[in-house]
Amino acid sequence: MAAVSDEIFLSGTDAAYGVYTVKTSRSYRGEEPGSLSIRGMTGESPAARQQRVWDRAAPAYDRQIAVLERIWFAGGREWLAARAHGRVLEVAVGTGRNLGLYGPDVTLTGVELSPEMLAIARTHAGSLDLDVDLREGDAHDLPVEDASVDTVVCCLGLCTIPDPARALVEMHRVLVPGGRLLLLDHVRSTWPPLHAAQWLVEQVTGRAAGEYFTRRPLPLVEAAGFELVEAERLKAGTVERVHAVRPR
């Protein structure tokens, strides 16, 4: 990203987002102001788009996210795993980066929209010799019975789930009374200049890949009927960890 006076230019290529260019205000390098071009946008449903995006991103995902985790989300996965117990449902399990972190008392089920991401998770589970139930499914309609799990984990998932409020209602449904909800995600910054930059970036990523940087799940958690136990905001408020419970 580069900013020049009242002019903003965003351009790049991303494994998940595709090729994008956004220009606002006056002209830049001979281009007309206000132009917008995003390759890969179609009339498909939000869920179908997310499946396509993550299927395409799957082969490179672990390599790419590893860099971000070292500098942005360090310790987050371990924070989640340390609080998970009993029958655990991980929503948006992805490539299974959390699989080796859970304690011995955990019986794990993972749900993932992308078949390509799920295939990598299954390979990962096999390499760790873990007995994990990994299912293809949608966070908006979880393939899990009512009140059947003790902990729900969602790690870096609500930023791309098309309707996070609906997904949280589903997580509430499948938890037993007293069950734990554990979330880690990037959220809108508490520092206004960074918040503004996040908003600009998601004008591209939101339309091209359904990836949002200014969401904040905590109010939705409370609206879904959960009670907050603890919450932490890190990295200028751009990372939030949430531990909540379904009331008994």
Bridge-based pairing state of the strands 175-186 and 149-155: parallel
Q: What are 110's two structure tokens? A: 């993972």
**111-159 pLDDT per residue, tens:** 999 999 999 999 999 999 999 999 999 999 999 999 999 999 999 999 9
Instruction: Give residue 141's Cα distance to chain centre.
Output: 17
Pure H helices in the chain? 46-71, 76-83, 115-127, 164-174, 192-209, 217-223
Could you tell me the CA-to-CA distances from 43 to 3, 19, 47, 113, 201 in Å, in that order? 31, 18, 12, 19, 22
Residue with tokens 């008392």: 105
> What pLDDT, in 10s, does the model give residues 172-214?
999 999 999 999 999 999 999 999 999 999 999 998 889 999 9
Which residues does residue 37 pair with via DSSP β-bridges, in sequence order? Answer: 21
- Residue carrying structure tokens 């997580």: 171
Under the banding of pLDDT at 50, 70 and 90, the label for residue 41 is: very low
Q: What is the pLDDT of residue 42?
A: 54
Phi, psi dihedral angles at 147 (to 5 degrees): 45, 50
Domains of the chain: 43-245 (3.40.50.150)
Q: 3-state DSSP call for residue 243?
A: strand
CA 142 to chain CA mean position, Å: 16
- pLDDT tens, residue by residue, 88-118: 999 999 999 999 999 999 999 999 999 999 9
Residue 56's pLDDT band (boundaries 50, 70, 90)? Answer: very high
